[in-house]
Each structure stands twice: as structure tokens, then as C-alpha cells.
């Protein structure tokens, strides 16, 4: 099965929602959706949880390089994943889509557009986006696959 459609869907949904957020929200001004969930536009120049966001600019190229290398490796694995390993394939496809979605932002703007703001009372989780959600869900699926499968994850080539 071709799993790349999942990655493509994540990329499209991620970019559309980021465009809508960037076009309709004011920077760092929360808009309540429901209690515990705001839409709050943020620009993240760093990695997860704004890691290295104030590093002076070099981190943009560093994170872009990592994203490109990891995306190529994941695409290779996804192309060769054993068809019986659907959980693994879904995980890889979600991570690939999320990585490319954030790579697009970093390439075009020098930062990643985040807008989903989950909170409880005065405590806020760092803002995130669809790509971040896909990466997290994909990582969770990889963990599930590790604990539920003892088979090799890649198709065996014919010798």
C-alpha cells in the first residue's frame, strides 16, 4: 500500500490551518474556542517547546537540515515498510507529513506557525500546530509498534 497519501494529507491540512491562523489571528492574542482551548498565533523560531528559539538565527538552518535528512530517511523506510505493519506505516507517514509541514514554514518564513493553545486555569501547554500533532501521534504509533511486533519492520528483499 502507498502510505504517502497520509503524509500529503497532513501537509495540506497543516498548511491550510496555518494560513487561516496567520490570516485571522493577531500575534499572541488568544481567541477562546472552548474552555481549555484557545487559538493563539505564535511564531516559533526554535524546535519543540521553543528550544533554541533565541539562538541568533543559525538554528533555522540546523533544524531545516535535520528535517530534510530525517524526512529522506523516513520516506525510504515508508517505501520499504512491510505491508503487514500498518501501525508502523501510519506512524512513519504521520511523522513525515508533520516534519515536511514544519519544514515548509521554516523554509518560507524562518519560523514555524503555531496556534493551538491548550490550557488549564493559568497553565498553558506550549502552542502547537497540526504538524506537531501528527509528529506526536506518529511517535506514539511507533512506540505501540515496537511493543506489539517482533517481526522486522522492512520488507525483505529477494536474494
How does pLDDT run along the chain (159 residues), one tens digit per residue? 799 999 999 999 999 999 999 999 999 999 999 999 999 999 988 666 555 555 556 667 887 899 999 999 999 999 999 989 999 999 999 999 999 999 999 999 999 999 999 999 999 999 999 999 999 999 999 999 999 987 766 665 554
Q: How many CA atoms lie within 13 A of 52 on its CB side?
A: 14
Is residue 88 situated within a structural domain?
yes
The answer to whether residue 159 sits within a structural domain is no
In a domain, 155, yes or no: no
36 lies in a domain? Answer: no
In a domain, 87, yes or no: yes
Residues annotated as catalytic (active site), given as ranges: 114, 132
- pLDDT for the residue 112: 95
Does any domain span residue 154?
no
Query: Is 38 within the bounds of a domain?
Result: no
Answer yes or no: pTM beyond 0.85.
yes
Residue 106 to residues 44, 53, 55, 56, 68: CA-CA distances in angstroms? 9, 12, 15, 15, 11
30 assigned to some structural domain? no
Going from the C-alpha of 130 to that of each of 21, 56, 78, 100, 109, the distances in angstroms are 12, 26, 20, 12, 17
Q: What's the total number of domains in the chain?
A: 1
Task: Please give the residue range of the domain that contains residue 74.
Answer: 4-23+43-148
Amino acid at each position: 500500500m502507498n502510505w504517502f497519501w497520509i503524509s500529503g494529507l497532513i501537509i495540506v491540512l497543516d498548511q491550510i490551518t496555518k494560513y487561516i491562523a496567520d490570516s485571522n489571528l493577531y500575534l499572541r492574542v488568544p481567541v477562546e474556542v472552548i474552555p481549555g482551548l484557545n487559538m493563539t498565533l505564535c511564531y516559533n523560531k526554535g524546535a519543540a517547546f521553543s528550544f533554541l528559539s533565541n539562538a541568533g538565527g543559525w538554528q533555522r538552518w540546523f533544524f531545516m537540515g535535520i528535517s530534510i535528512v530525517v524526512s529522506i530517511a523516513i520516506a525510504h523506510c515508508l517505501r520499504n515498510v512491510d505491508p503487514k505493519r500498518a501501525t508502523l506505516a501510519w506512524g512513519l507517514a504521520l511523522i513525515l507529513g508533520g516534519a515536511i509541514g514544519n519544514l515548509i514554514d521554516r523554509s518560507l518564513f524562518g519560523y514555524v506557525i503555531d496556534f493551538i493553545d491548550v490550557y488549564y486555569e493559568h497553565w498553558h501547554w506550549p502552542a502547537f500546530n497540526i504538524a506537531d500533532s501528527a509528529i506526536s501521534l506518529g511517535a506514539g504509533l511507533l512506540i505501540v509498534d515496537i511493543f506489539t511486533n517482533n517481526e522486522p519492520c522492512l520488507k525483505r528483499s529477494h536474494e
